Amino acid sequence: MKKGQILALIAVCVAVFFLVYSPHLNYHYPLHIDEWHHITEAEKLKNGEYSGGGIGYRIGFHVFLLGLSYLSNLVLVYQFLPAIWAVLTSLVLFYVVYKKTGGNYWLALLSMLFFASLKSNVNIEGLWFFTSITFSIPFIFLYVFFFTEGVEKRNKKFILLSLAIMIILIPTHSISVLFAVPFLLVYSLFHFRYIIRNYCLFLFYLVIPILGTVIFSHLNNITLADSILKIITELQFMKGWGVLEINNSFLEVYSLVGYMLAVLGIFFIFKNKEIRKYLAYVLWTVSTLAFIFIFRLTDVSYFAPYQRMFYYFAISLPFLSAIGLFYSIQYLKEATGKFSKIVDKTFWKKVLSLFVASFVFLFMFYSYLDIPNNIKVYHLIDDSDYSSLIFLKNQSSGKVISSTFIGSAAYAVSEKNPVGALYFYGNKTVVEKFFSAKNCTAQNKILTGQNASYVLVETPINCNWTLIYNQTDLIYTFRNKTKRVW
């Protein structure tokens, strides 16, 4: 690459970083309940309290966070992780597109920009949040690339490298492999002769279901036979799997101009007779879109939950949109060259390219922050809550009852288990009963039943508990005075 191209690449990386970091400009803690959940599980892993089971399907991601926790305070550094990972992922996409297109720098750079324009919200998630699905995205780009390149160029090393990446993702975010099974199988049918001739090589891919079944069996403490039946059942994600089930608009994740250019991209792929070269990427989009509509018709999503399938569909689009924009500009430049007989053709081609690109980018990012109110970003804690939980961290062990918002961050900061949180931990209903109780007797009964030692509130409660912290928040200690009967 030329010096100017390298500088442009760096500029795009900086832009991606600040675009993804923007929600944190006025808030320096994790933004999503899933982020707090992953920090909690990493801390539990460190403290020997890892819960396993369904949560264990993300253990690879939690191990990654565990390693980071030895280098820095996870809660405080987490604000930077989505932006850093978005830059890394966009660079991986640049590499994939650059190699796939035979060194087309502009297609690769445009793909990065369209990728940066992907929107985020708390329902479908996205680049604003550092979760197991966003952690997996660069690996998805890589294993699809190496698999297709390996098959098309008869490169066995690439095929095995793709397999290795998939194996890494199985205990990290298994559905980031499962969702691709349908379109990779269809893609493979177009190369079945090569696959049949090298069946011994492709038999290694059986490691993926075998490893997944073994991990599933271990985490659920059931036999391998029972695991197979249970996995088949659980690959059907019924409506209600997510915390929030809404009829998502396609504009929630991507811009209208991005969709239009993606359609044009598919058109140009067929027009230029490059369908075999980019077949997997077209199938990726078509496959995930089909599963989205199947869910809307049947209330069942296969291979991956509906919300996640929606995002897998979204991340397939930037490459296609880049193709659509690149070739649109190429055709417009050709048309300009035919009609401009007097003026400098080169000058007008550059002006036209700049105008079209500027117009597209304006509408790509115009509605970037336009998020429906019911799926906007929320803040679980503030600085005073963080200080309160840090104080609690230095106290003796015991459960804490607080609002479910603070409860969701309780263990991540204080290493104290909450009585209830918004999701994942404890019992939300018990917390609601505690704060709606009209007398101390009822509240003491709940604290005793939950074996809670601490009460963290914003306003005083006069129940003869011991006040040990009195700042913006208040923390009381509760000691169970029930006498043991011998």
Domain boundaries, the chain: 3-374, 383-477
Phi and psi angles of residue 238, each rounded to the nearest 5 degrees, phi first? -75, 160
Round to the nearest angstrom and report the end-to-end CA distance of the chain.
81
Distance CA(343)–CA(297), nearest Å, equals 56
For residue 445, pLDDT over 60 is answered with yes
Question: Which residues lie closer than 8 Å to 202 by C-beta, 6 or more apart?
Answer: 159, 195
Q: How far apart are CA 277 and CA 296, in angstroms?
A: 31
What is d(CA 79, CA 21) in angstroms, rounded to the nearest whole number? 8
What pLDDT score was predicted for residue 68?
95
pLDDT for the residue numbered 234? 66
> Is the Cβ–Cβ distance between 363 and 257 less than 8 Å?
yes
Least confident of 62-76, 271-285, 362-376: 362-376
* Angle at CA of residue 94, ends 169 and 309, nearest 5°: 45
Do the Cβ atoms of 63 and 44 come closer than 8 Å? no
Return the bridge partners of 476, or none: 455, 467
Residue 343 pLDDT exceeds 60:
no
DSSP-derived pairing of the beta strands 236-238 and 300-302: antiparallel
Q: What average pLDDT does this structure show over 28-33?
A: 93
Three-class secondary structure of residue 237 per DSSP = strand
What average pLDDT does the segment 46-53 reach? 76
Q: What's the rounded Cα separation, in Å, for the pair 257 and 416?
A: 48
Closest residue by Cα to residue 385 from 75, 165, 101: 75
User: For 41-56, what is the mean pLDDT?
Assistant: 76
What value does the mean pLDDT take over residues 302-325? 91
474-477 and 452-457 beta bridge pairing: antiparallel
Whether 287 and 266 have beta carbons less than 8 Å apart is answered as no
Q: Which class for 263: exposed (0-12), middle (13-18), buried (19 or more C-beta within 10 A)?
A: middle
Confidence of residue 403 (pLDDT cuts 50, 70, 90): very high
Cα(243)–Cα(69) distance, integer angstroms? 28
Mean pLDDT estimate for the chain: 86
Q: Which one is predicted more confidently, 110 or 227?
A: 110
Which pLDDT score is estimated for 275? 77
H-run or E-run covering 315: helix 306-315
User: Which amino acid, 86?
Assistant: A
The pLDDT assigned to 354 comes to 66
Of the pLDDT bands very low, low, confident and very high (cuts 50, 70, 90), residue 54 is very low
**Residue 339: pLDDT band with limits 50, 70, 90:** low
- The larger pLDDT score, comparing residue 463 to residue 213, is at 463
Task: Tell me the pTM.
Answer: 0.89
pLDDT (0 to 100) of residue 14: 94
What average pLDDT does range 22-31 have in this prediction?
93
Token couple for 356:
């079209």
pLDDT tens string 201-256: 888 888 777 777 776 676 666 677 766 776 666 667 777 666 666 777 888 899 99
Please report, rounded to a whole number, the percentage of residues in the chain having pLDDT higher than 70: 86
pLDDT tens digit sequence for 354-393:
666 666 777 777 778 777 777 788 899 999 999 999 999 9
9-16 long-range contacts (CB < 8 A, ≥24 apart) are 9/94, 9/109, 12/90, 12/109, 12/112, 12/113, 12/116, 13/87, 13/90, 13/91, 15/116, 16/83, 16/86, 16/87, 16/90, 16/112, 16/115, 16/116
Closest CA to 477 of 461, 459, 465, 469: 465
The listed CATH number (3.40.50.12610, 3.30.300.210, 3.40.50.720, 3.40.50.360) that belongs to domain 383-477: 3.40.50.12610
Q: Rounded distance, CA 335 to CA 437, Å? A: 75
